[in-house]
Amino acid sequence: MIDAVIFDVDGTLVDTNYLHAVTWWQAFRQYGRTVPMADVHRTVGMGSDNLVGHLLPADRDTSDDDAIRSAHRALYAQYWERLVPFDGAAALLERCASRGRTVVLASSAADTEMRALRAALDADDAISVATSSSDVERSKPAPDLVQAALKAAGVRPEQAVFVGDTVWDVKACEAAGVACVGVLTGGLPENDLREAGAVAVYESVGAILRDFDGSPLA
C-alpha cells in the first residue's frame, strides 16, 4: 500500500530544467569557465554543492566555486515570477491527496526558490509537507532529501513512491530504498532513467494522471 507520494519539483512539476541549464552556463561564463550546455543539462537535478565539482576539473582553483553558485541563483531568480507548471501537475497532486496519499515536495532548491515554485504550482491545499536543501546536509544523488521526505511524511521507504525527472532522483531513491517513477519532461532519454533504476517512465506528470489507477502511485 502506497501511503505517500514524494515529488521532485524542478523538471517534474514545473518546467525549469532548461532555465537552470542556461543560467548555470551563464554563471560559469562569468567566471571564465566554458562548459558545454549539454553537459550542464545532464547535471541539472544535482544539488549545487555537487554540480559545480561534477562539471569542473578536480584539480581546479576552487576559490570561485561559491561565487559561481551565487551567480546562478541571481540569474535564475529573474525567472521566478514567470515559472510555469506542467499540464496536469496540480491536478496530479490533488488526485493523490484525494486518494488519501500524503503529498510531499522534495526539492534541492533553497527555501526562497521553493516558495516561487510552490506559487507557480498553486496547489498548496494538496501538499502536506515540503522539504528543501535547508533540511539536509547532502544533496542528490545522496539519499538525504528522500530520507527527509520520508521522515516528514512519517512513512517507511516501502510505503512511498517518488516521482522525478533525472538520474540523480533515481539514484537518490535507490539509496533510500524508495521506488522512483520517472518523467521525460526534464529532457533526459527514457533509457537513461530506466537504466538508473526507475520502476516506470511516463511522458509527463499529466500522463501519470491519465493512467493514475494503473500507475505505481495507485
Per-residue pLDDT of 139-188, as tens digits, reads 888 999 999 999 999 999 999 999 999 999 999 999 999 999 999 999 99
Give the pLDDT score at 80: 97
pLDDT at 108 over 90: no
Identify the band that residue 138 occupies on the pLDDT scale cut at 50, 70 and 90: confident
Q: Give Cβ neighbours of residue 203 (< 8 Å, ≥ 6 apart).
A: 183, 184, 185
Give the pLDDT score at 91: 98
Give the chain's mean pLDDT: 95
pTM: 0.95
pLDDT at 133 over 90: no
Per-residue pLDDT of 50-107, as tens digits, reads 899 999 999 999 999 999 999 999 999 999 999 999 999 999 999 999 999 999 999 9
Asked, as a colleague might, if the bond just before 141 is cis with ω within 30 of 0, I would say yes
Give the pLDDT score at 28: 97
d(CA 97, CA 40): 35
- Burial class (CB within 10 angstroms; exposed 0-12, middle 13-18, buried 19+) of 63: exposed
pLDDT at 136 over 90: no
| CATH superfamily of the 4-15+84-214 domain | HAD superfamily/HAD-like (3.40.50.1000)
